[in-house]
């Protein structure tokens, strides 16, 4: 929501005052909205009324659902009374509802009692509700009995609903005026952008969740934009990307729970983009396996001519796991890596600077020894999930087009292995990579301690629920929980995520049981040689683009591949069609034009049939070197049950 401190709000306004647009802006950041349409269809020959209804329908995002209540006026109160706490409802409008209420087909009826029922339903509604209603009390008293009956009934309804709502706004000429603000209500307005300090400024203070309760006041960490180091014999220049703006965040009040309906990528744009690649004027066979990058970008951008990602943000999650999970790690090493990244040093920060990506270091709650007790409390899990969601929202509001997820905590591989064992039935020794010391030696003793810790944790929780939140609390820890929230928030805001390492894929395994759409917004560049990443990729249906076996740290591996992925997208968008297929050899005009349009609007030039493979490509032939392997199955399904804490749980 764009306004904090309320659960229900009434938006009043005259005809063409902009009240509906203002009401829609209040719920614009909700991932899913139930739109309750109260107006009847009207006379089929009334084209002006049909045009009004069509305009309202066209403004609704694809993730919204529409329900008609015109057939039975009393159904509106029933819908409000039974709405869930995690839902967002938009009722537009009460004028249409009163019209149906006074219709002779619904008489005789007690209009006063029905309006009172609506007010009581609003008072007891646990969902967030925005209601729209016309304000007709400022005009003259109608001269007809029917007109007077309508204005009297609508006036009574507006007074009843206004009394039941937490806040009331009046829209005049598109300008909202709050008539009944609650104590903490803030009028939605464009927040003032705050320039983030550069790498040369004093070290930023990074917020830490710790034992924080799930409140919206937790401050998000600063976003760092580092300047790449100057090459020899070159003058230091400006950063590759403009400084990232840190925007104040407002809590959404969202309840994260299993079965959330989040947006899906455009399933048609991807195949159209891949088919278009076969028509481009290239001297060879094309992009090979990298055509999957073009297909992924097309589905997430909603166009067959996707553009290279411009604004990229790296989220580095720092949170340690106590106990045997961190065996073989040097005490304080993860904190040193996080401080190094904040200072613009180390592999991750330097790669981010070279790629023009902003960097955000996020401190997550430290996890207790999972072999002895839950890693986190359920309250910490809820807070971490919402915290991650807000990180994704902040990135989307700042115009970020791609998120890169990384981690640098101690014991993250063991925690990810435990999550995979709980969600996919994996054997811990099979998904735990070898422990490499700072001197490059293999520490088998530390590896066995990690295996024992995961084994004991699974034994301790053998009778516990395998719900998503329970897994995060018992085994996952703070970094996996925050990463899960990031994936869900990015999915809700249609921002793709480049995964890299065990924490990211473990979060992907958990997020699929909360919202199955999340995995479709994820891309995996390289498995890095991690057995846990290989298994999770198979279960999630993510095929790594490369087999480079990079091990530069979670997040850094993805940044190594990022320039190549960008080059592929830029090339695919700029190349013209081959002359033999009707091209003129000039740069693709559609691609040039698409640069000035926002993602999500398909280019009609490439949505029409008629494009075929290059004439020199034999039908049915696939080069085995570039054959795409079949993804594995979807893995075990979520229980879908509400998770309950096991007895004896305590905060980590």
Which residues participate in catalysis according to the annotation?
554
How many Cα atoms occupy the beta-carbon half-sphere of 410 within 13 Å?
A: 22
Angstrom distance (rounded) from CA 334 to CA 347: 14
Write the CB contacts of 396 (distance below 8 Å, at least 6 apart in sequence): 489, 490, 493, 494, 495
Angstrom distance (rounded) from CA 251 to CA 394: 11
DSSP 325: G
Write the CB contacts of 387 (distance below 8 Å, at least 6 apart in sequence): 209, 218, 482, 485
Strand partners, 224: 359
Beta pairing class for 167-172 and 194-195 = unpaired
Angstrom distance (rounded) from CA 508 to CA 540: 8
Q: Measuring CA to CA, which residue among 532, 455, 544 is closest to residue 501?
A: 532
**Residue 115, both tokens:** 């309006």
Phi and psi angles of residue 68, each rounded to the nearest 5 degrees, phi first: -95, 130
Angstrom distance (rounded) from CA 303 to CA 548: 30
Tokens 């937490």 sit on residue: 166
DSSP 645: P
Q: What three-state secondary structure class fits 446?
A: helix
Tokens 């270091």 sit on residue: 361
Beta pairing class for 358-363 and 312-318 = parallel
Estimate the share of the chain in helix, then strand, then coil, as percent rounded to the nearest 5: 40, 10, 50
**Residue 98, both tokens:** 């009163």
Angstrom distance (rounded) from CA 343 to CA 348: 11
Write the CB contacts of 195 (distance below 8 Å, at least 6 apart in sequence): 243, 245
323 touches 578 (CB < 8 A) = no
* CB neighbourhood size of 650 (10 A): 8
């Amino acid at each position: 929501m764009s306004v904090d401190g309320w659960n229900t709000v009434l938006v009043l306004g005259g005809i063409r005052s902009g009240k509906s647009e203002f009401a829609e802006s209040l719920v614009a950041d909700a991932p899913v909205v139930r739109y309750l349409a109260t107006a009847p269809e009207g006379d089929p020959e009334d084209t002006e009324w049909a045009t009004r209804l069509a305009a309202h329908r066209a403004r609704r995002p694809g993730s919204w659902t529409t329900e008609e209540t015109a057939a039975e006026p009393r159904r509106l109160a029933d819908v409000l009374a039974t709405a869930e706490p995690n839902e967002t409802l938009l009722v537009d409008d009460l004028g249409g509802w009163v019209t149906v209420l006074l219709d002779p087909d619904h008489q005789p009826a007690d209009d006063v009692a029905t309006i009172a029922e609506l007010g009581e339903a609003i008072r007891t509604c646990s969902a967030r509700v925005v209601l729209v209603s016309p304000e007709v009390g400022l005009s003259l008293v109608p001269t007809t009995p029917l007109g007077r009956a309508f204005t009297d009934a609508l006036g009574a309804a507006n007074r009843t609903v206004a009394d039941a709502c937490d806040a009331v706004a009046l829209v005049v000429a598109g300008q909202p005026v709050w008539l009944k603000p609650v104590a903490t209500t803030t009028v939605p307005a464009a927040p003032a952008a705050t320039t983030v300090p550069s790498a040369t400024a004093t070290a930023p203070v990074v917020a830490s969740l710790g034992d924080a309760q799930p409140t919206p006041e937790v401050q998000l960490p600063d976003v760092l934009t580092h300047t790449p180091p100057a090459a020899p014999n070159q003058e230091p220049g400006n950063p590759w990307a403009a400084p990232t703006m840190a925007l104040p965040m407002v809590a959404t009040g969202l309840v994260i729970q299993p079965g959330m309906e989040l947006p899906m990528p455009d399933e048609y744009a991807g195949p159209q983009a891949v088919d278009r690649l076969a028509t481009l004027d290239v001297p060879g066979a094309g992009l090979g396996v990298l055509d999957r990058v073009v297909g992924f970008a097309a589905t997430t951008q909603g166009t067959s001519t996707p553009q290279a990602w411009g604004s990229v943000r790296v989220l580095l999650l720092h949170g340690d796991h106590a106990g045997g999970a961190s065996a073989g790690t040097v005490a304080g090493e993860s904190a040193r890596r996080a401080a190094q990244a904040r200072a613009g040093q180390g592999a991750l920060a330097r790669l981010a600077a070279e790629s023009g990506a902003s960097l955000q270091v996020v401190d997550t709650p430290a996890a207790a020894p999972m072999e002895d007790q839950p890693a986190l409390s359920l309250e910490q899990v809820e807070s971490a999930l919402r915290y991650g969601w807000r990180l994704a929202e902040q990135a989307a509001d700042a115009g970020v087009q791609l998120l890169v997820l990384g981690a640098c905590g101690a014991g993250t591989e063991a925690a990810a292995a435990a999550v995979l064992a709980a969600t996919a039935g994996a054997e811990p020794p099979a998904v735990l990579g070898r422990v490499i010391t700072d001197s490059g030696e293999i520490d088998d003793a530390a590896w066995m301690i990690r295996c024992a810790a995961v084994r004991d944790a699974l034994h301790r929780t053998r009778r516990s629920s395998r719900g998503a939140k329970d897994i995060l609390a018992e085994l996952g820890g703070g970094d996996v929980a925050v990463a899960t929230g990031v994936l869900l928030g990015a999915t809700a805001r249609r921002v793709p995520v480049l995964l890299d390492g065990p924490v990211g894929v473990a979060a992907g395994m958990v997020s699929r049981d909360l919202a199955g759409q999340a995995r479709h917004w994820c891309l995996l560049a390289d498995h890095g040689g991690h057995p846990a990443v290989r298994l999770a990729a198979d279960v999630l249906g993510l095929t790594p683009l490369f087999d480079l076996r990079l091990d530069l740290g979670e997040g850094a591996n993805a940044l190594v591949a990022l320039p190549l992925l960008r080059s592929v997208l830029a090339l695919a968008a700029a190349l013209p069609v081959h002359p033999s297929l009707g091209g003129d050899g000039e740069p693709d005009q559609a691609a040039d034009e698409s640069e000035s349009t926002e993602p999500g609007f398909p280019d009609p030039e490439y949505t029409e049939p008629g494009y075929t493979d290059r004439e020199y490509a034999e039908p049915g032939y696939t080069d085995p070197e570039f054959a795409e392997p079949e993804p594995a199955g979807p893995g075990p399904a979520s229980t879908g049950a509400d998770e309950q804490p096991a007895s004896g749980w305590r905060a980590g």
